[in-house]
């Protein structure tokens, strides 16, 4: 089975390094399960693509797209991916996947789900070594978080029959906008209902939503979360903290 991973890039080289290290380890683990992951990126700055090549290697596919509006950049990535994969997986350039996620995805892919995602996520801020978790509720406007969403080629084709996945020029609320398109196309949506988050969103000074937005969510043990990452991602996150600490002294 072939899964295309789509990742928009924009700055934050140390955060991107953590995401790439996590993905490299994840790719090896999933290959052992018979699932081939291929990285496809959208870049706006030449250095972003250089960072990918230096810390991951050449991606399966890449496309240049302006970062504003971000909705069109997302669409550009999926346009070059269409027809090449059985499934599509969203990973942000600031996302780290913890290994316990693997079993959830393997089960979902084995069942042939149309669309599935996470109801919880960790947010960490390496500069302050703070961490929180948050989860969707029955009153949440989104069914799942954008990071970690997985949908089938058939589900995406259903949406694209009626127009683009992101029909408006927008820089935020992109997950909600695209989710509405899948619902309108009649795609059956599921959630993992995980006991605790297995995706870590790394917050820095360059984010659509900064850590401050989530600081009143459930407090978590920063070091415990980082300790559950694979070796490469953990080292990159620790380096990010050291650089941030040095910049503030």
pLDDT digits (tens, 9 = 90+) for 8-63: 999 889 999 999 999 999 999 999 999 999 999 999 999 999 999 999 999 999 99
Q: Which domains occur in the chain, in start order?
A: 2-122+139-201 (3.90.550.10)
pLDDT digits (tens, 9 = 90+) for 151-167: 999 999 999 999 999 99
Q: Among residues of the chain, what percentage have pLDDT more than 70?
A: 95
What residues are paired with 130 via a beta bridge? 125
* Predicted confidence (pLDDT) at residue 208 exceeds the cutoff of 90: no
């Amino acid at each position: 089975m072939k899964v295309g991973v789509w990742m928009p890039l924009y700055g934050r080289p140390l955060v991107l390094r953590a995401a790439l290290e996590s993905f490299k380890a994840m790719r090896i683990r999933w290959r052992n399960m018979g699932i081939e992951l291929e990285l496809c990126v959208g870049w706006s700055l030449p250095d972003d693509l250089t960072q990918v090549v230096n810390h991951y290697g050449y991606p399966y596919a890449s496309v240049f797209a302006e970062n504003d509006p971000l909705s069109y950049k997302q669409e550009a990535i999926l346009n070059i991916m269409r027809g090449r994969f059985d499934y599509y997986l969203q990973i942000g350039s600031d996302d780290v996947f913890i290994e316990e996620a693997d079993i959830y995805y393997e089960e979902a892919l084995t069942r042939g789900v149309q669309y599935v995602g996470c109801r919880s996520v960790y947010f960490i801020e390496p500069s302050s070594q703070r961490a929180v978790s948050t989860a969707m509720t029955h009153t949440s406007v989104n069914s799942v978080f954008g990071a970690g969403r997985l949908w089938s080629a058939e589900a995406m084709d259903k949406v694209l029959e009626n127009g683009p996945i992101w029909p408006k020029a927008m820089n935020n609320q992109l997950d909600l906008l695209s989710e509405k398109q899948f619902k309108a196309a009649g795609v059956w949506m599921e959630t993992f209902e995980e006991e605790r988050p297995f995706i870590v969103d790394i917050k820095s000074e360059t984010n659509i939503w900064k850590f401050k937005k989530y600081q009143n969510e459930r407090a978590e043990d920063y070091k415990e979360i980082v300790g559950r990452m694979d070796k490469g991602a953990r080292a990159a996150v620790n380096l990010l903290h050291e650089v941030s600490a040095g910049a503030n002294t």
